[in-house]
Amino acid sequence: MPQAMLPANRGRMEETMALPDMQTIRCDVADGVATITLNRPDKLNAFTARMRDELIAAFDAADADDAVRAVIVTGAGRAFCAGADLSSGGQTFDYAARNEAAREETRIGDVYRDGGGLVTLRIYRSLKPVIAAVNGAAVGIGMTMQLPMDIRLASTDARFGFVFARRGITPEAASSWFLPKLVGMQTALEWCFTGRVFGAQEALERGLVRSLHAPDELLPAARALAREIAEHSAPVSVALTRQMLWRLAGADHPMAAHRVDSRAIQARGRSADAREGVSAFLEKRPALYPDKVSRDMPEFFPWWDEPRFE
């Protein structure tokens, strides 16, 4: 692709996304694509409170950097994420009994906010498209953190499980909202009731993942998809589209979508991006979109009131 497509802030982009204090994840950026790797391979990338905070920080950094056009999330080693770190034994899910999880910023009254939910809500708010490259076992929070990601690709070695009922707890990370939207209520209930671990082929057949790939072909396939978005689509249009589809999917009438659509197409229609996009198409050349997510989101955005945790 022409160098002008991803301008000379690539070096700054890598520095911005380096996030040097990270201990449980790794962040790499190339060609407009940020790859966030869950990086506790000796623990099968088990989820901790620190990983929660580092994932949130990584998505904050990606949204703040206009050079990042798309995000991939994958795991180091042979697992994507084997769920919550169970090293605390029977107290693993007793937040009040665990100093690590029972941090004051997660406590509202007498309720400790679910750490997985803090991550999925942050991904839900993302202004950049998010692709999961599921390289291995993905159970518990390793599964539910994928649900607000936009597209899921999986290795043929991947395994999935909503194992909560088999641990004496319930689904978390807002998965009771996300999962039925992705696979339907019947499949969501079956997977959560049984808590069984199932293979990649079943995940594909039930619509949880978009495609299966040989293990060594998974990341290249995810990167090819991410680069297609990064190289050909206007970033502000993608940011708007992502929020429009996610937030309006649950609207009680299409009029809600019509109201937002009308404002969005009017704002985008008069933008420099629209002029460039049409001109590039007519002139049969790559588009060089000038608008930035950091400064050029339309005045009506956001159109929703963010709910409070109560």
Q: State pLDDT tens for residues 201-220.
A: 999 999 999 999 999 999 99
Q: Look up residue 244 and give its two tokens.
A: 């429009």
- The string of pLDDT tens digits covering residues 82-100 is 998 766 555 555 565 555 5
Maximum alpha-carbon separation in the chain = 64
| pLDDT greater than 90 at residue 53 | yes
All structural domains of the chain: 3-230 (3.90.226.10), 234-310 (1.10.12.10)
pLDDT digits (tens, 9 = 90+) for 114-144: 999 999 999 999 999 999 999 999 999 999 9
Cα(79)–Cα(81) distance, rounded to whole angstroms? Answer: 5
What's the chain's average pLDDT? 91
Q: What is the pTM of this model?
A: 0.90
Question: Which of 117, 116, 152, 123 lies closest to 135 in space, CA to CA?
Answer: 152
**pLDDT higher than threshold 80 for residue 280:** yes
| Percent share of the chain, pLDDT over 70 | 88
Q: Which residue has the higher pLDDT, 111 or 243?
A: 243
What pLDDT, on a 0 to 100 scale, did the predictor assign at position 95?
60
Alpha helices in the chain (DSSP H): 10-18, 49-64, 115-124, 141-144, 175-183, 185-194, 200-205, 218-232, 235-248, 254-269, 272-283
Mean pLDDT of 219-236: 98
